[in-house]
Structure 1
Amino acid sequence: MGVEILTGQGFWHALVWFAAALGVFLLSLAIWSMGRREFRRGTEAELPFVSGERVEDARVGAPHLYWGFAEALKPFLERLRNFHSGFIGDYVGWFAVILAVILLLVMA
């Protein structure tokens, strides 16, 4: 049930794409123009509504943000940390081996 556009120039006819982009722009402009005019920047109207409560900005540090993820994967991450050598030649070698395996799988 695909829609086929017969332009004589194939799918990438520039005028068809320009007309489609113009149509999307005009539709977006029409929806935007129906917005409320009384909105003013720099007022409380910009703030998120959280049940009428004023909420202070929360700061969550990266170690706390990923704590559960790191804790759940701790055994796996410890094995990776022990495997880590820091030598770029090791990583290039592993990359070459994995690339060769992927190429063999794709070409087979």
Structure 2
Amino acid sequence: MRIGSGEGFWSPIVWAILALGVLAIGFAVWLQGRRTYKRGTEQEEPFLSGERLPEGAGVGATHLYWGFAEALKPLLMRLGAFHSGFLGDYVGWLLVLLVISILVVMLG
């Protein structure tokens, strides 16, 4: 079966063979990996920056993403000025961006 278009063709058999080839290559790479995992050892413990945390301890998202928030702080402060908390404002921005996207696609 071959389906043609102005940009190329689609052959399910060729794509299935390519997918199987990629899976075979991935499996071959996986077979080359190390087999050093041992059950019931320290390897099963969760790892967070090398610290042993007490049972039930959690790490908040503010701590995990601190670097991103700090690096993007100037941008976030400027965007904060647009934040009104009113749903109608967000729907309006969504519609404006949707219209711009449609115009770009239709005219582009």
TM-score range, shorter chain: 0.5 to 0.7
- In structure 2, the residue matched to 1:52 is none
Hey, what's the Cα distance between the residues in 2 that align with 1:82 and 1:72? 18
How many pairs were matched up? 91
**Larger of the two Rg values belongs to structure:** 1
Residue ranges of structure 2 left out of the alignment (5+ in a row): 3-10
Kindly report which structure 2 residues correspond to 1:1-108, keeping only aligned pairs within 5 A, or say none: 9-10=1-2, 11-13=11-13, 17=16, 21=20, 24=23, 28=27, 32=31, 40-43=38-41, 46=43, 55-57=50-52, 61-108=60-107
Stretches of 4+ moved more than 6 A in 1?
none
Q: Which has the higher contact order (CA 8 A, sep 6+)?
A: 2
Residue ranges of structure 1 left out of the alignment (5+ in a row): 1-8, 49-54
Identity of aligned residues (%): 47
Q: Which amino acid aligns with 2:62?
A: P
Hey, what's the Cα distance between the residues in 2 that align with 1:56 and 1:103? 51
Hey, what's the Cα distance between the residues in 1 that align with 2:44 and 2:77? 43
SS in 2 for 1:83: coil
**Cα 1:35–1:82, aligned 2, differ >3 Å: closer, same or farther?**
closer
